[in-house]
Amino acid sequence: MPTTPVVLDQKACHYSPRVVGLRVGQPLEILNSDPTLHNVHAMPMVNQEFNQGQPAQGMRLTKTFTAPEVMVRFVCNVHGWMRAYAGVMANPYFAVTDADGAFKIDGLPPGTYTIGLWHETLGTQEQQVTIAEKQNATLPLTFAAK
């Protein structure tokens, strides 16, 4: 289990990064890098909700989630445009896409897996992939525009 926290920063009145992945029980550190009040409001469906103000620059809040959940939504009740999402996973086999939409999951043992994808506005989808011993697999995945 990773003990290094995943950091969700409030910078320039935006959450950065907008999407994070972490393990059940792994610390999530929420930082206020802005010289203004922010309010961190996590709105999970499975885990415990929290809603805490961070009135000063440099404030840190550390939380952990006790159950898998895709996705936990975060808002700032002071700045209505601020949104972020955390995927809380039971295993280490997950990734967040890069700016081009690519991702890589290292260390999967041989087997057949269902890969689940989530997008903030385009929804979810699943696709199966089979990985052989010492094989790299490429899985072309796309979301249809809504």
pLDDT range class, residue 8, cuts 50, 70, 90: very high
Inside any domain, residue 1: no
- Which residues have CB under 8 Å from 3's CB, separation 6+? 26, 27
- pLDDT digits 0-9 by tens, 45-59: 999 999 999 999 999
3 state SS of 146: coil
Q: Which domain holds residue 21?
A: 6-89
Residue carrying structure tokens 């203004």: 36
Q: How far apart are CA 146 and CA 108, in angstroms?
A: 32
Side chain identity at residue 38, one-letter code: H
Mean pLDDT of the chain: 93
pTM given for the model: 0.90
Report residue 39: phi and psi, to 5°: -130, 115
In this structure, are 137 and 106 located in the same domain?
A: yes
Inside any domain, residue 83: yes
DSSP letter (8 states) at residue 17: S
Residue 145: pLDDT over 80: no
CATH number of domain containing 79 = 2.60.40.420
In this structure, are 121 and 83 located in the same domain?
A: no
